[in-house]
Amino acid sequence: MTDTTATEKTEFDRWQSLLVGLYMSIVGYSVLAGIPVISTAWSTLLGFSEVQVGRVAGADLGGLSAGAVLAAILVARVNRRVLVIAAVVGAIAANVACILYQDYESTLLLRFLAGAASGVSTGIAVATLGGRLHAARAFNYLLFSFAFIQAGEMYILHRLATAQIYTIFALSYVPILFMLPWVPARPAEERDVDDNNSRAPSRAVDVPLAVPWLCLAAMALTYINIGAYWTYIELAATDAQLDGEWVSSVLVWVSFFSVLGCLVATVLSDRFGLARPLLV
């Protein structure tokens, strides 16, 4: 008998789940994408020193990591919609509070809380995309979307006041509440093979144990680079007395060129497997 249930679709494979997973991921990464502009706002509009800007950015990204770890612990144990509601409410409250309390100590704490809430939301979003039958394709969509959103942030956010930036971050979470029914509440049931077929579910390729660790190492190095220069890149341009509009346009084009990188990675992964783009 032909094995058909091994590729049986679940609620994770609906277009609604793809849409909410992409949107939640983009919103969760929005602060990370806009760090250069936000760092400049913290420095020029709030008067933070470069050291303080680095600490606030570190608190934001550290909160994102902590929230993602928390989501990883709870994602298979707790109703995911409950986690999303808590994360959305927390992110909105923290961003609104950042408008009201703009001193350094308050901002440091509030950005960590906002980052943690964002990390939980992003963790659920990534789990939603990863639960799809064609997860690699979903993550390719995410990379393309992220690159375009990053370019948009580089173009728009530097024209806004700090309060307006926080307002945009807070409002971006509101649509998630309306898309909540699209979030799968529980992990998908294991995709079993037909009872008459004694073979275990097969994989197209046996992935070496080193490959997931190589991927994690690549991600870690990427975020170390982000922390090392992405936070200060616009501040450094300001100190060098470069034209602000020119710097903004360069950052926009850099973001668009990352779309080209995503396209190349997609072509390579389709032809040679997922590990080859990482090695390239």
Q: Are 121 and 24 in contact (CB under 8 A)?
A: yes
pLDDT at res. 145: 82
Tokens of 157: 């956010």
Residue 39 in contact with residue 231, Cβ under 8 Å? yes
Closest CA to 116 of 63, 78, 155: 63
- For the residues of 197-232, what is the DSSP string, one character each? --SPPP-SS---THHHHHHHHHHHHHHHHIIIIITT
CB burial of residue 179 (10 Å; 0-12, 13-18, 19+): middle
187-204: string of b/e by CB count within 10 Å (b at 16+)? eeeeeebeeeeeeeeeee
* pLDDT the model gives residue 125: 94
Token representation of residue 121:
């939301």
Per residue of the chain (280 residues), give pLDDT as tens. Answer: 444 444 577 888 899 999 999 999 999 888 877 777 788 888 888 889 888 888 898 888 889 889 988 998 998 889 999 999 999 999 999 999 999 999 999 999 999 999 999 999 999 999 999 888 888 788 878 877 877 787 778 778 878 888 999 999 999 999 999 999 999 988 876 544 444 444 444 444 566 777 777 777 777 777 666 666 666 666 666 666 766 667 667 766 776 676 677 677 667 766 766 655 555 5
- The single-letter DSSP state of residue 101 is -
Q: Which amino acid is at 25?
A: S
What pTM, to 2 d.p., does this model score? 0.78
Write the CB contacts of 213 (distance below 8 Å, at least 6 apart in sequence): none
How many other CB atoms are found less than 10 A from the CB of residue 215? Answer: 13
Taking residue 29's Cβ as centre, other Cβ atoms within 10 Å add up to: 19
Q: How many CB atoms lie within 10 A of CB 160?
A: 15
